[in-house]
Amino acid sequence: MKKFWTILRFELNNYFKSKGFLTATILFTLVLMGVIIVPTMVPGLLGDDKVSESSTDSGEQADTLGICVKTDQITDVDSLLSGMWANWETYQDESSLKKAVKDQDVQAGFILNSLSDVSYVVNNKELYDSYQDAFVSTLEAYETQQYLMAKGLSEEEIAAAENININVTTDILGKDSASNYGYTYILVFLVYFLIIFYGQMIATSVTSEKSNRAIEILVTSVDSNSLIFGKVLAGALAGLVQALVILGGSFGAYAAVKEKWGGILDPLFDIPARVFVAYAFFAIASYLLYAFLFGALGALVSKTEDISKVSGPVTMLYVISFLAAIFGMNDCDGLMIKVASFIPFTSGNAMFIRVAMGSVAAWEIILSGGLLVASCVLAGVLAAKLFRYGTLHYGNPLKITTALKNMKM
């Protein structure tokens, strides 16, 4: 046990003293904190009422548009134009309007041939041009109003008919999947990053000492179990520490400026305690399962450049698990996500999603958690045996099926 702690401390020191590790941790933390804090320092960016009112009152933010009316169907042009917020310029003929648009005196213009025939004039049509749709909506509302007034309804009666308020009260008996979607997606993606990134690092750590022959000296003084468990758990702990620092900085930054955001980001940061506990358990257990698998695969190769060859199937297995979880979020009580929540390779994401967004019984959580923990133990035992078998194997990468067959013999 003493040798295990020695290996663990040594490997952790290598991670924590690495400039790349420290730089990435600090950079990601500062960037996320900046994304949360900086918008609160920009006036009006988060909907400052005073800024919005002053802009609206002064009219400085309104676009200037042109209009040419060529029909007698519209008797009150001012009433029509009042339905669309803009500064309007009136032109007597098409050529004057088109010249104004060409000279950029107005952003765009409309030629009204009739109530149902409109020509839109613009110099360069942008990808997100909203003038046309806004004007059509305004014209439709005006035409509806004129039709109802012709039927004998007053403007007050029309306004009352158009502004009927329906009060809807939502009584959620279970979970609000829509509100929980944001933080669930981010937390699932965080585990994806940890497993894919640190899985490769753990495999590289195991292989590097074989490639430089240092393993031949180590195995004479340290047992293989202490080596593999020390390396795998050190990589796993380093990843967890990095994730905690980044998340802690983000949560701390939001807590400091929460009032200025006005609750906009609450769906991302207000995570219920039981959901967070479930996430911590299943994320860490799933992370350790894949960490042991990557560590075992690292023992089967003698060159670091061969790691991608043997780790591909495990990487693909987790990518499939991740994609199944993402698609399962759209139907968190569906058959696919329920089955995936009991398979150890996919339960880390699937069961957390069910806890966060769906309906799940306590016995299901306990059963899934028990299977995942048992799989972690088996993966650790397998990793230790494969590491012991492949320690002094050099040359071409070993296939895991070949290694298991030879270990039996």
Q: What is the pLDDT of residues 181-190, one digit of tens each?
A: 888 888 888 8
Residue at 195: amino acid letter: I
Mean pLDDT per 10-residue interval, the chain, length 409 residues: 78 84 89 86 62 44 83 80 85 90 90 86 81 87 79 74 71 66 85 86 76 61 74 85 88 85 77 86 90 81 73 86 87 86 90 86 92 91 77 62 64
16 CB burial (10 A radius; 0-12, 13-18, 19+) = middle
Task: Pick the closest to residue 18 from 239, 275, 342 (CA basis).
Answer: 239
**Beta-sheet strand order (sheet of 87-90):** 87-90, 64-69, 108-114, 117-122
For 161-178, b/e burial (b = at least 16 CB within 10 A) is: eeeeeeeeeeeeeebebe
Q: What is the pLDDT of residues 205-230, one digit of tens each?
A: 777 766 666 665 666 666 767 777 88
How many residues make up the chain in this entry?
A: 409
Distance, in Å, from the CA atom of 65 to the CA atom of 85, rounded to the nearest integer, reads 10
Distance, in Å, from the CA atom of 7 to the CA atom of 163, rounded to the nearest integer, reads 71
Q: What is the pLDDT of residues 146-171, one digit of tens each?
A: 778 777 777 777 777 777 777 776 66
Q: What is the pLDDT of residues 256-277, one digit of tens each?
A: 888 888 777 777 787 888 888 8
Q: For the CA atoms of 9, 12, 13, 16, what is the dihedral angle to 10 degrees?
A: -150
Radius of gyration of the chain measured on its C-alpha atoms: 32
Please tell me whether residue 120 adopts helix, strand or coil conformation: strand
Q: Is the pTM of this model over 0.75?
A: no
Distance, in Å, from the CA atom of 15 to the CA atom of 195, rounded to the nearest integer, reads 16
Pick the CATH number of 63-159 from 3.40.50.2300, 3.40.190.10, 3.40.50.360, 3.40.1390.10: 3.40.190.10
Sequence spans of domains, the chain: 2-40+176-408, 63-159
